[in-house]
Amino acid sequence: MQLQTTINGKPIQAEVPAETLLIDLLRDDLDLTGTKRSCDMQICGSCTVLLDGQPVSSCSLLAYETQDRQVLTIEGVSLNGSLHPVQTAFLQEYGLQCGFCTPGMVLTTLSLLAENPNPDEETIRAHIGSNLCRCTGYYPIVNAVKKSVQLTNNTPGD
């Protein structure tokens, strides 16, 4: 099928088989390898990307679903080559270790802040709570999201 989509703000046209999964389009065809495959059954959240701003598991979503829609991957998060405040927050709070779940965590956080710029702790936990991390015990990640709220609200024009 002929696919037209926008990935990280860039229009993409590709001829792909209908059964192509979004993660394979990203990683194999477009070399956007920041999106990580792990559980491969839409549970762990490592492969999270945003589809029109909403978090989806790219391991279990057909690339077909991105037709005429916007996809954001970790490679598109940085602002003009500098870190997004959410990324800065994760670094400041040691909200990552091995880095494998990290792109998914950052994108899930972005989807939260887009929906609710001032989430309370309960909302934060509910929103990111199903993304799995095996290194940090989650505490630094929750702190990183809280710090993201602060930093994002302090970034002019964002």
Partner 1 sequence: MLDKAYGVGERAPQVDGPAKITGQAKFAGDIKLAGMLEAKVLRSPFAHARIRSIDVSRAEALPGVACILTGNDLGDIDPYYGHAVRDRPIVAIDRAKFAGDPVAIVAAESASIADQALELIVVDYEELPHATTIEEAMVANAPQIHDTEQLRLGLFHGLGDFQPHNNICYEHHLEDGDVEKLFSKADEIVEGEYRFPSVYQYSMEPHLTVAHWIANDQLELWSNCQHPYLVRAEVADIFSLSKANVRIHVPYLGGGFGSKSYTRLEPMAAAVARKAARPVRIANSVTESMWTSRRHNMICKMQTAADKDGMLLARKVELWLDTGAYADNGPRVVATAADAAAGPYAWQAQKVDAFGVYTNRPPSGSYRAFGATHLQWIGESQINEIGRRVGLDALEMRKKNLLKFGDTIRKGGKPLDADLIGDIQKVADGLDWGEKRGENIGRGFGIGLLAAGSRPVSTSFLRLEADGTITVLVSTTELGQGARTAMSQLVSEVLKVPLSQIRVPDGDTQITPYDRSTGASRSTTLAGGAVHLAALDLREQLIDIAVKMWKLSDEAIEIREGQVWGGDKSATFAECLEWHFGFVGGELFGRGIVRPEEGQGTYSAGPVFWEVCTGGVEIELDRDTGEIKLRKVVSVADVGTAVNPSLIKGQEMGGAAQGLGNAIFEEMHFEDGQLMNGNLADYRVPKLFDMAEEFVSVIVQNEDGPGPYGLKGVGEGILAAMPAAIVNALGELGIEINELPATPERVWKAMNDSRQDDNTLQKKIGGE
Partner 2 sequence: MRTLTPFSILAPTTLQDSFQHIEEHGWNAALYAGGTELLLTMRSGLASFPYLIDIKKIPQFDEISFNKDEGMLTIGAGATHRSIETSPLVLEQLPLLAEVESMVANIRVRTVGTIGGNLCFADPHSDPATLFMAWAGTTFELVSSAGVRQIAPDEFFVDLFTTARAENELMSKIHLPILGKRMGGAYKKFVTLERPTANVAAFLGLANGKIDSARIAVGSVGPIPVRAIDAEGTLLGGFPDEKLFERAAETAAEATDPVDDVYGSKEYKKQIVRVLTRRALKQAATRADRSQ
Which residues 6+ apart lie within 8 Å of 139 measured at CB? none
Within positions 112 to 151, which residues make up the interface with partner 2, using CB under 8 A? 126-127, 130
Which residues 6+ apart lie within 8 Å of 73 measured at CB? 7, 8, 26, 32, 34, 35, 49, 103, 107
Give the angle subtended at the CA of 37 by the CAs of 31 and 42, to the nearest 5°. Answer: 130
Within positions 65 to 104, which residues make up the interface with partner 2, using CB under 8 A? 65
H or E, element range at 41: none
Residue 60 phi/psi, 5-degree rounding, is -125, 15
Q: Is 78 in the site for partner 1 (CB under 8 A)?
A: yes
User: Which CB, 67 or 78, lies closer to partner 1?
Assistant: 78
* Binder of partner 2 out of 10, 19, 98, 153 (CB under 8 A): 19
Q: Is 103 in the site for partner 1 (CB under 8 A)?
A: yes
CB of residue 1 to partner 2, shortest distance in Å: 7
Nearest partner of 95 among 146, 141, 151, 142, judged by Cα: 141
User: Which CB, 36 or 61, lies closer to partner 1?
Assistant: 36
* Binder of partner 2 out of 55, 85, 119, 140 (CB under 8 A): 55
Within positions 32 to 71, which residues make up the interface with partner 1, using CB under 8 A? 32-41, 43-44, 46
CA 91 to CA 69: how far, in whole Å?
Answer: 30
Query: Which of partner 2, partner 1, none has residue 46 at its interface (CB below 5 to 8 Å by kind)?
Result: partner 1
Q: Answer for the pair 35, 49: CB distance below 8 angstroms, yes or no.
A: yes
Contact residues toward partner 2 (CB under 8 A) are 1, 17-19, 21, 40-43, 45, 48, 51, 54-57, 60-62, 64-65, 108, 126-127, 130
